[in-house]
Amino acid sequence: MNSEFDYIIVGAGSAGCVLANRLSENENNRVLLLETGGSDKSIFIQMPTALSIPMNTDKYAWQFHTDPEPYLDNRVMHCPRGKVLGGSSSINGMVYVRGHAKDFDEWEEHGAQNWSYQDCLPYFKKAEQWYLGGDTYRGDDGPLGVNNGNEMKNPLYRAFIDAGKEAGYAFTNDYNGAQQEGFGPMHMTVKGGKRCSTARAYLDPVKHRKNLTVVTKAKAQKVVLENKVAKGVQYRVGGNVYTATATTEVILSAGPIGSPHLLQLSGIGDKSHLEGAGIECQHELPGVGQNLQDHLEFYFQFKCKQPITLNGKLGLFSKALIGARWLLFKDGLGATNHFESCGFIRSKEGVEWPDLQYHFLPAAIRYDGKSAFAGHGFQVHIGHNKPKSRGHVLAKNSDPDTAPQIQFNYLQHQEDIEGFRACVRLTREIINQSAFDDFRDEEIQPGSHIQTDEQIDAFVRQAVESAYHPSCSCKMGEDDMAVVDSQTRVHGIQGLRVVDSSIFPTVPNGNLNAPTIMVAEKAADHILGKEPLSKASAEVVGDSQWATRQRSASF
């Protein structure tokens, strides 16, 4: 196992599986893919409706926790990350959101050259197999299957969209197309009724390649450096430690927690921090582990007048029927993540593009799959998605088995607090539109008594949860705190790259699996020295009067 390869990829997750596929297309490239976890073939991973199980299972996820968050009443927050083939794409909610076009233009403004929306769109399309066929914005022959689940059969999904329209917001038929802003159907990475993780989409079809070696249960210890050149990776399988040599490059795709931690364990990071952790500094790069960002959200829950919600499907008999149908036919309620309608709006006038995101769910239920109350209900997940607050990931010592310190500093910034006040007030207005009159009953959470700024702030501090979108901890750019350049190469180290959501300069308005896959597709061309795909010239639709109004039914 002390072998030589051209490329070593650490982490078989949303980015790593993409890279393993693309880099091994050339049979002359010897590629090693290292993954700490194991097989993704569990029914709980493959069946979309079981999404709450793998992220809460030690076997499939790193069960990271933050230090007490000082602006959330010192709450300790859960931060699970994938530890299985497919990484977090095997444990996530399967929601497919690319982000707003302006999010990627923002990346370029932060120094990520040639990462504008028009640069990135061709790679989104390359990755995707959209169930309605390709067009200017959507791909039709990529590995990643994307659809709308059960086509919003439950009437509550359309009630949510109609309520958004009644409240004065636009309708968008495709928020991943020209117009993100508005209310419409939501998309998911499900294909043939099964979770379409990157393990399934990118890795399974190429496992047979003789030039691709996949080693599971392999915990990376550090990058082997010689005179600021990455020579390989030291990793452990069971009780044995091995060293694999890379003749061309080492690529870290261990995620927004794992990649900065591994860089620090390898002696790359802020010198004073490394020395304090007992790690010899090999290369000073102060931005490693800094700029950490995440999305927060809470559930706005209501009781439902009609017995049409998923709360009526939580009994053992109902679950057995759903599971049996899925096993036999790969359809029905087992074949969806249940987030089938959504909304993207702006929190206030003067915000140029959407900073609030809605996931609608025809159930009142927690992420751990437990019912919120006895009876029928529905909820909408709402969060402020362009946070100003920043945190860090820091190695505590030189032991790879010691989890790093994680601190997001959630709601440190006043604008984030105000964003969540808007979440409460705007959502309450939307749900109280006439479209919900036949369904809406008592407000469960926050509760109608929560009205003032002070009451909302106190509720939010106690109710918000991570949306599981950590990112930006090895940001791309050219400033003093950037970790990688626009080619994803680690500044100052030869033969070493980082390719995953940690290199985002800023967090996009949306879930992160889609942009992470896009980043890996684009980075693969950089790594292989290919000409980038031709820049797009797609129209982007937004409100031209954003500076003076918060909503518009049409643009």
- Reported as a single tens digit per residue, the pLDDT across 190-238 is 999 999 999 999 999 999 999 999 999 999 999 999 999 999 999 999 9
Residue 45 identity (one-letter amino acid): I
Q: What is the C-alpha separation between 395 and 402, in angstroms, rounded?
A: 8
Dihedral-angle region of residue 192 (phi above 0 means left; psi in -120 to 50 means alpha; beta otherwise): left
- 333-387 confidence digits (pLDDT tens): 999 999 999 999 999 999 999 999 999 999 998 766 666 678 999 999 999 999 9
Does the domain formed by 149-185+296-384+411-463 have CATH 3.30.428.10? no
Q: Please give the pLDDT value at position 373.
A: 76
Q: Which two tokens stand for residue 28?
A: 């002359």
Task: Round to whole Å and give the CA distance between 355 and 416.
Answer: 10
Q: pTM of the entire structure?
A: 0.98
- Token pair recorded at residue 335: 């074949």
What is the SS3 assignment for 31? strand
Residue 122 DSSP SS3: helix
> Which of 116-120, 137-141, 364-368 has the lowest average pLDDT?
364-368
Triad 448, 452, 456: Cα angle to 5°: 75
Residue 438 has pLDDT above 80, yes or no: yes
- Residue 16's pLDDT is 98
Confidence of residue 119 (pLDDT cuts 50, 70, 90): very high
User: Residues 6 or more apart from 15 whose CB is under 8 A from it?
Assistant: 87, 198, 253, 499, 500, 501, 516, 517, 519, 520, 523
Cα angle 235, 236, 240; round to 5: 130
At 372 the pLDDT is 66
With beta carbons less than 8 A apart as the criterion, state whether 251 and 34 touch: no
> In degrees rounded to 5, what are phi and psi of residue 534?
-60, 135
Whether 1 shows a pLDDT value over 60: the answer reads no
State the first-to-last Cα distance of the chain, in angstroms, to the nearest integer. Answer: 59
Q: Read off the pLDDT of each residue in 484-493 and give the average, rounded to a whole number.
A: 98
What rounded mean pLDDT belongs to the chain? Answer: 97
469 is catalytic: yes
- d(CA 380, CA 383) in angstroms, rounded, equals 10
Q: Which of 539, 519, 535 is nearest to 471 (CA)?
A: 519
Backbone angles phi, psi at 422, to 5 degrees: -65, -35
Average pLDDT over residues 184-188: 98
Q: What is the mean pLDDT of residues 25-41?
A: 98
- pLDDT of amino acid 459: 98
Could you tell me which of 486, 377, 454, 368 has the C-alpha nearest to residue 109? 486
Which secondary structure element, helix H or strand E, spans residue 303, and what is its range? strand 296-304
* Per-residue pLDDT, 374: 81
Share of the chain above pLDDT 90, in %: 97
Q: Are 351 and 418 in contact (CB under 8 A)?
A: no
Catalytic residue among 283, 359, 381, 469: 469
Residue 278 has a pLDDT of 98
The bridge status of strand 440-445 relative to strand 290-292 is unpaired
Please give the pLDDT value at position 366.
76
Confidence at residue 367, expressed as pLDDT on a 0 to 100 scale: 67
Do the Cβ atoms of 171 and 158 come closer than 8 Å?
no
219-237 in b/e burial notation, b at 16+ Cβ within 10 A?
Answer: bbbbbbbeeeebbbbbbbe
Average pLDDT over residues 104-127: 98
Superfamily of domain 1-56+80-122+196-289+471-530: FAD/NAD(P)-binding domain (3.50.50.60)
User: What is the helix, strand, coil percentage profile of the chain, to 5?
Assistant: 30, 25, 45
**pLDDT tens figures, 262-311:** 999 999 999 999 999 999 999 999 999 999 999 999 999 999 999 999 99
Domain ranges of the chain: 1-56+80-122+196-289+471-530, 149-185+296-384+411-463
